[in-house]
Structure 1
Amino acid sequence: MSITSTDAAASGAGRRKPGLALLVIVLSQFMVGLDATVVNIALPEIRADLNFSATSLAWVSSSYTLAFGGLLLLGGRLGDILGRRNIFIAGLVLFGAASLLGGLADSSEMLLVWRVVQGVGAAMAAPNSLALIASNFEDGPEKNKAYGAVAGSYAASLALGLLLGGLLTSQGSWRWVMYINVPFALLVLVLAPMFVVESERHPGKFDITGTILSAGFMTSLVYGLLHAAEHGWGNAETMGPIGGSVVLLIAFLIVESKAEQPLLPLDLLTSRNRTGGYFSLVGLVATMAAMNFFVSLYLQDGLDFSPMETGFAFLPLAAAILMAGAQAAKLLGKVGPKPVILAGAVLIGGGMLWMSLVSDSTTYATGVLGPILLFGSGAGLAMTALSGVILSDVSGKNAGSAASVLEVFQWIGFTLGISILATVFGSASRDAIADDPSDAKHALVEGMGAAFTAALAFVLIAFLIALFAIKPAAPPAEAAAPVDEAKPDEAEAAV
């Protein structure tokens, strides 16, 4: 059975409200992305209020990241078996409650506990919100529009998190960066049962061994990458977890290949288009992490922007992503995903190249605004098209798994980009400081230039994967055949 709008008809005809269903899904993706960045600007206040040490403060962000990344595959599989809307709503309840209790935390330990619970809730909600697109939107322009809105909202939330973080901490306190999730969660919880159509359930067994191995793999990998971003690659605490993650990944793939009902159906990776989409996504999300992190650093430390001014400076990026995502939804039905992905990668590369030319005299107007508009336009195009490539024509029983794998690759790309490019930045900055210890801004500029130049490698890899792995769109007559009924070659072409 392929994912089509027939699922919607089977489970809620007459109540289908695609506009309101899209609002629910967009808000949930926005919350998950927002929580990855909104806390960062509040970290100094959190440290002072709850007496975090300098080393433990990083866990305010990392605890959420590790829990979310480690449980994504399980979250998708739970939705396939128990109903995607059910798990989506349960995840939002957990996420909203943890946000409220985290805001009320009176100790560093309690805040970290609730950040972990937030990550668990996000791991349940995020992949199932993506998978619910299948049962709530008609194939064609309607579904393409949904992909564009969801991809754009997630990408824009990473930038808007900086704005909201600055506003909330300057006008209120750090606790509001936690409370901000509560009204979003409540709104989604009211609307979801009314307007989001439940998908067909696919009863089965839970793959306990696969769950343990996948959680261990993602936790080890993300921990190692986060540690590399702060302390570099040449130490046991970085390379040990990364090496362990490789061993756990191999064990996970062996177990999944033999499992009767695997956590990750390996046939999801047999489609040339889908696998190419996953790996292209890693490269492009890695550059997005660099854009958010290093531009924010430059605006505050190089141009003396306040946290609030920094947030407003990112608004053009968010607007460009959303507008380009809307255009991508229209283009997908006309030219197919491949040209849209390639065009997006070229624009992203152009933004990276322009940012790599940053100098001591660069201002926001002369050297930041243009690159982020170019980058945002490319990100909106490419992310929308990649979502379509990855999630289209997956059998109904595997939709949650396909969406959770998308989230996994996205999260790996984000942490990989930060860890590698932060290392490049640090090395170039230290060299500049050694040459002239009195010029901190020049060291910052040198580090940024090196990091953005290195980011071009991620863009190039993503472009080449899309160019050679993703097939051009099939003619309409061929594309109409669902995956479950088409021959293997035809099914790949239809993605």
Structure 2
Amino acid sequence: MDHVEELLSMDLKQSIKKKDRGAHKHKWAVLSMSSIPLIMTLGNSMFIPVLPTMEKKLAISSFQSSMIITVYSIVAIILIPLAGYLSDHIGRKKVIIPSLFIAGIGGFISGWAAWKMADAYWLILVGRAMQGVGAAGASPIVMPLVGDMFKNEKDVSSTLGIIETSNTFGKVLSPILGALLAGISWYLPFFSIPVFCVFSTLLMIFFVKAPKSQEKPIPFKQFFRNIKKTFTHNGKWLNAIFLIGAILMFVLFGVLFYLSEMLETSYDITGVKKGLVLAIPLGALCLTSFITGKIIKENKVLMKWIIFSGSILLGISVIVLSFSHMLWFLISLFLFCGIGIGSVLPCLDALITVGIEKEHRGTITAIYNSMRFIGVAAGPPVLAILMDKTGHLLFYILCGCSLLAACATFMAIKPDKEEPAHS
């Protein structure tokens, strides 16, 4: 009897050890995947505080300096759907790892040109375009990879919340890190990209074990027939999520541009200090994304109402911004903007990831990420025009966009109310 109890005790200990090892591997896999959106966000947003210095060093106009940011986004918007299709066809890691390599090479080319060449501008743009190619095949593919790796919807939602938190933390860190690196040398931010990409590539190689598909890739024509069928059955709520994602990024980067301009022109807050102030609303967005990812689990009805409520909160916060330009008032309202957007993003990520079949997931989430990139690219220039031409009307336009997102949520996203969250 004692011998049997001893064997049972040994089996129990081994089971606990296996479970601990599994949890340890899970944490490292999530950390590895989270590094990608963090690095891709740094790879673009980090250059925003450096643009005035680049204009002086390269003797270029403000429009030309803005193209250093824009070319990255435009290339990514065009190539993200192709990267999604390839990830469905040949595998997620087979797309992500070469994309990280391309992004790193692009950063090196831009940095070398800025360091060594007198007329470096056009080669810097070539390097930035290569970074856009890498960004298209890296960050957007993380979402479907999470859906592939975790079968439990609760784990998917929680992990996507961490991924979105990492993305947002990149936005928090970007202005601070960009200003610090540029303080050493204005071209150093370019050279930091290859270092980050090597780090993320090693993490992906050693810690992320993507499940292998047992099925052969289906022919190109059949694949697109299946995608068409997916939109036929799910088009209403998918299109709503695409629209909401684009609106949220448009409003977020628009209001960040507005706050950045106000800090410089009205309060003479620049450099690292400005980055720290911008980090306040982005920090709220980051924390809210993390908490939301933890609480939504697989409850799709809860996700819908969080999206609706977050969009309403965003709209109210934006319209109230028009009441005063006092610094504490601006920061307080932007804090609520961050909470509203931060609550919505993990819900959108979870709905679109768990609601689409695995073999089409990469393509559908890629379209969603393209729409988000369009919002990112459109926000600052549109706000610049509105600030110059319309005065307070810009707040009503942004509020209207936020309310449109709330209406799209209410009208088009209709999860099964009989599907409760599983405990």
Distance 2:32 2:384 in 1: 35
Superposition pairs for residues 339-488 of structure 1, below 5 Å?
339-359=305-325, 362-363=326-327, 365=328, 367-428=329-390, 447=391, 449-476=392-419
Distance 1:160 1:15 in 2: 28
The aligned counterpart of 2:72 is 64
Check 1:196–1:474 CA distance in 2 against 1; reply closer, same or farther (3 A cut).
farther
Q: Does 1:134 align with 2:142?
A: no
Check 1:476–1:263 CA distance in 2 against 1; reply closer, same or farther (3 A cut).
closer
Q: Does 1:337 align with 2:298?
A: no
Deviation, 1:261, is 3.2
The AA in structure 2 aligned to 1:386 is L
Distance 2:103 2:367 in 1: 20
Which runs of 4 or more aligned residues in structure 1 lie more than 6 Å from their structure 2 counterparts after TM superposition? 13-16
Question: What SS does the corresponding residue of 1:312 show, helix, strand or coil?
Answer: helix
Distance 2:143 2:155 in 1: 14
Deviation, 1:205, is 7.3
The AA in structure 2 aligned to 1:80 is D
Superposition pairs for residues 98-137 of structure 1, below 5 Å?
98-105=106-113, 106=117, 107-137=120-150
Deviation, 1:403, is 1.7
Superposition pairs for residues 35-184 of structure 1, below 5 Å?
35-105=43-113, 106=117, 107-169=120-182, 171-184=183-196
Whether contact under 8 Å (2:257, 2:383) holds in the other structure is no
Deviation, 1:118, is 0.4
The aligned counterpart of 2:247 is 283
Deviation, 1:398, is 0.9
Greater Cα offset, 36-45 or 400-409: 36-45
TM-score using structure 1 length: 0.74
Whether contact under 8 Å (2:310, 2:341) holds in the other structure is yes
TM-score using structure 2 length: 0.85
Greater Cα offset, 119-128 or 154-163: 154-163
The AA in structure 2 aligned to 1:63 is V
Question: What SS does the corresponding residue of 1:160 show, helix, strand or coil?
Answer: helix
Deviation, 1:54, is 4.8
Check 1:286–1:53 CA distance in 2 against 1; reply closer, same or farther (3 A cut).
closer
Distance 1:132 1:114 in 2: 27
Match of 1:274 among 231, 238, 245: 238
The aligned counterpart of 2:35 is 27
Per-residue CA deviations over 1:56-88 (Å, capped at 9, x if unaligned) read 333211221111111111111111112101110
The AA in structure 1 aligned to 2:43 is D
Distance 1:263 1:419 in 2: 37
Distance 1:98 1:104 in 2: 10
Whether contact under 8 Å (1:34, 1:161) holds in the other structure is yes
Question: What SS does the corresponding residue of 1:261 show, helix, strand or coil?
Answer: helix
Question: What SS does the corresponding residue of 1:314 show, helix, strand or coil?
Answer: helix
Check 1:262–1:168 CA distance in 2 against 1; reply closer, same or farther (3 A cut).
same
Bigger helix share: 2
Distance 1:68 1:263 in 2: 25
The aligned counterpart of 2:3 is none
Distance 1:197 1:393 in 2: 23
The AA in structure 1 aligned to 2:248 is L
Check 1:476–1:419 CA distance in 2 against 1; reply closer, same or farther (3 A cut).
same
Per-residue CA deviations over 1:18-47 (Å, capped at 9, x if unaligned) read 211211222111122223321122112223
Q: Does 1:310 align with 2:274?
A: yes
Question: What SS does the corresponding residue of 2:324 show, helix, strand or coil?
Answer: coil
Question: What SS does the corresponding residue of 2:355 show, helix, strand or coil?
Answer: coil
Distance 1:341 1:52 in 2: 42
Question: What SS does the corresponding residue of 1:305 show, helix, strand or coil?
Answer: coil
Distance 2:271 2:105 in 1: 27
Distance 1:150 1:265 in 2: 26
Distance 1:57 1:388 in 2: 36
Counting aligned pairs with the same residue, the percent is 22
The AA in structure 2 aligned to 1:471 is K
The AA in structure 2 aligned to 1:273 is W
Give the root-mean-square deviation of aligned CA atoms.
2.5
Deviation, 1:136, is 2.3
Per-residue CA deviations over 1:334-383 (Å, capped at 9, x if unaligned) read 55311111121122123212322233xx12x2x12211211111111101
The AA in structure 2 aligned to 1:290 is G
The aligned counterpart of 2:14 is none
